[in-house]
Each structure stands twice: as structure tokens, then as C-alpha cells.
Amino acid sequence: MVIIRTDFSLKRFNTFGIDVKANRFADIFRESDIIEIRKQTASNEQILFLGSGSNILFTKNFNGVVIKNSIKGIEEKEFGEDEIIISAGGGTEWNDLVNYAASKNYWGIENLALIPGTVGAAPIQNIGAYGAELKDVFHSLEGYNFDSGEKIVFTKDECEFKYRWSIFKGELRNKFLIAKVNFVLNKKPSPNLTYGALRGELNRVSISELTPLLISETVSKIRRNKLPDPAKIGNAGSFFKNPKVKNEKFAELQNQFHNIPKFEFEQGGVKIPAAWLIEKCGFKGKRIGNVGTHKNQPLVIINFGETSGRRIQEFSVLVQKAVYEKFNILLDHEVNIY
């Protein structure tokens, strides 16, 4: 039976630690709970599906029903000689899945170690870090369309993955609950050391000594050194996406800012690290009241105390304005704002 709580504080359910309330809140643990909560939701009621709340900023009370996905579990299915399919419940902690794969010596998600959030949230924004992206190992997912009640399987193409984006962030936003995700992992060694900082940490280790466990531990160490732990200090990882610009625009910027960095981007353009743009605007480690950017990574906005979501949003607009005025680039937020 699904227990529905009313006028429920979401403070423990978002890593910014914002104290807002939801009209109704339900935690679901199995697929049958999805059908049940759907029956108890009016067609005009606003819905928000929540994982571990690590990529969300609440700026006001939520006038609707928050459905927290706690459907957990990891299963293996044989696939081919060199590959294996792993299925995980949408409510499984992402890092538990990374640890599971590393313990079994399966390759593919070790670079994505320690990313906060759940397995069900991972495809929504096609999580990525240290040269890897979820879409590289994605096989399919299963879930429920909340409008029709229908159970649907999505293949990789149907998810329309892009940089920090998928169909579940677009037309299916809060319409589709991801119950299970299937990944194809590799049993054969396939280390991905394309990311400079990771290669640097491992340059004394020979290729044959690399394991998914060693890589995931190294990535975790880099992240711990650089990024604030959401369990200790309120934040939601990168607040903004790295902006993409056309080659011509980048050339113009380069004339003015000679050392502007870039990542190559597939479709005729480049991505510029938002952290660099923000730092150049004097916002690295800048704090206003109880809101500020992290001292090592200004892409991360921090709640230093009992601040409100609105204050964080206002601070983020200041960052956007500063970057826009200096570089004529509008930063898009990665965090979902409600």
C-alpha cells in the first residue's frame, strides 16, 4: 500500500536542503505502487518525480504530488561473450551500481563514480563525467507513462540523448516514471582515460594493471578533492551546463580572451567550460550571505546555511548576468528549478 503524506517537508529530500513543502508526497517501492499512486492522482494534479533530489532547486512549496522513486535492486542478465546486461531499479543509488559493477570487474561506468543521484534519474539528463556519458553504456529502460498508465520500453535511440538532455527532460518531463534501466557493460578491459585529470592521476599505472575498481576509486578521489559533498554541504553539483558556441563565435572570443579554454563538440562548434567563464567574472568562491560558489569549482552553487531556494536562484541570475555582460553567452542551468 502506498502511504501518502500531506503538507510534507522536502528538506531531507533535496541536496540543497531547501525547506519547502509538498501538498502530497508518496514514496514508492515496487512497480505495483506506480499503478496505485496513479489511480490516486487527479488528472489535473501537478506531478513531480523525485530521485535523491540531487539536481533540483525548490524555490517555493510544491502544489501537487511528489512521487519519490525508491524501486531498488540490481540484476544481471547474460548478453554476449564479452558483454553483460545489468538491470537496476530506478530508485537504486547510482554509486551503488558503480560499486557493484566495479566489484564484478565489469567495465563501462567506472568513470561515473560518485555522481550523486539515482539510476532512474541518470538517463533523464544523460549524466556524464571524466570523459564518459551514460548513453555510452545505455541499453534500454522500462517505465510507466503516467497519462495513459501504459508500461513502455525505450531503446537508446528513442531516448534522444544529448549533452545533459533526453526526451525525459523534454516532452516527457514528469510524464514518465522510470522503473528500471538496463545497461550493457563490458567484461573485457576497456579503460577510458581520455580525460586529462584522470590520465594524470593514473599515469604511473600500466594499462594491464587498470581495473574498474581502481578507476572508480581514482575518480572518487578527484571528485572528493574538488567537489563539495552534498551530504555535508547543500549543493546540486554543476548548477549550469557548459555552453556550446559556434566556431565563429569562439574565434571572436579568442581574439579578446587569448587563453579561453574549450572542449571539442561534435556538431561544428565547441563547448566552453562554464567554470572558466564564471571565474573570469570574479565569481569563483564568491559568497553573498549564505549563498555562494565553491572555492575550487565555481560551477557549483552552495547553500552555506539556512537560505531559501529563491535566494539561490537570485544568486544564479547574478552569475548569468555577469557572464552574459562579459562574454555575450547565456548560461543555461543544469539543475531543475521548481
Active-site residue 334, yes or no? yes
> Quick check: 112 binds ligand EPU (CB under 6 A)?
no
Using an 8 Å Cβ cutoff, are 215 and 111 in contact? yes
Number of Cβ atoms within 10 Å of the Cβ of 182: 18
> C-beta of 242: minimal distance to ligand EPU in Å?
5
Active-site residue 238, yes or no? yes
Closest residue to bound ligand EPU by CB: 237
Which residues in 296-325 contact ligand EPU (CB under 6 A)?
297-299
Which residues in 186-225 contact ligand EPU (CB under 6 A)?
none
- Long-range CB contact pairs, 320-324, < 8 A, 24+: 320/240, 322/278, 322/281, 322/282, 322/283, 323/274, 323/277, 323/278, 323/281
* Interacting residue with ligand EPU among 242, 308, 316, 320 (CB under 6 A): 242
**How far is residue 148's CA from residue 267's CA, in Å, rounded to a whole number?**
36
- Long-range CB contact pairs, 161-164, < 8 A, 24+: 161/123, 161/126, 161/133, 161/134, 161/135, 162/126, 163/126, 163/128, 163/241, 163/242, 163/244, 163/271, 164/125, 164/126, 164/127, 164/128, 164/241, 164/334
The site string for ligand EPU over 257-296 (x = CB under 6 A, - otherwise) reads ----x-----------x-xx--x----x------------
Number of Cβ atoms within 10 Å of the Cβ of 142: 16
Q: How many residues bind ligand EPU (CB under 6 A)?
A: 16
Using an 8 Å Cβ cutoff, are 25 and 40 in contact? no
* Interacting residue with ligand EPU among 27, 33, 110, 334 (CB under 6 A): 334
Q: Cell 556519458: give the residue.
A: 133
Which of the following is catalytic: 164, 223, 308, 316? Answer: 164
Query: Whose Cβ is closer to ligand EPU: residue 24's or residue 286's?
Result: 286
Distance in Å from the first CA to the final CA of the chain: 28
Query: Whose Cβ is closer to ligand EPU: residue 77's or residue 221's?
Result: 221
**How far is residue 135's CA from residue 67's CA, in Å, rounded to a whole number?**
25
Query: Whose Cβ is closer to ligand EPU: residue 241's or residue 244's?
Result: 241
Q: Which of 101, 53, 93 is nearest to 72 (CA)?
A: 93
> C-beta of 227: minimal distance to ligand EPU in Å?
6
Query: Which cell numbers hold the place of 212?
Result: 574498474
Taking the CA atoms of 84, 116, 73 and 51 in sequence, report the sign of the dihedral they define: negative
DSSP for residue 330: P
> C-beta of 215: minimal distance to ligand EPU in Å?
13
> C-beta of 65: minimal distance to ligand EPU in Å?
27
Query: Whose Cβ is closer to ligand EPU: residue 244's or residue 284's?
Result: 284
Segment contacting ligand EPU (CB under 6 A): 3-11, 65-73, 85-93, 237-245? 237-245
Active-site residue 164, yes or no? yes
> Quick check: 130 binds ligand EPU (CB under 6 A)?
yes
> C-beta of 235: minimal distance to ligand EPU in Å?
9
> Quick check: 241 binds ligand EPU (CB under 6 A)?
yes
Residues near ligand EPU (CB under 6 A): 129-130, 237-238, 241-242, 261, 273, 275-276, 279, 284, 297-299, 334
Which amino acids are annotated catalytic? 164, 238, 334
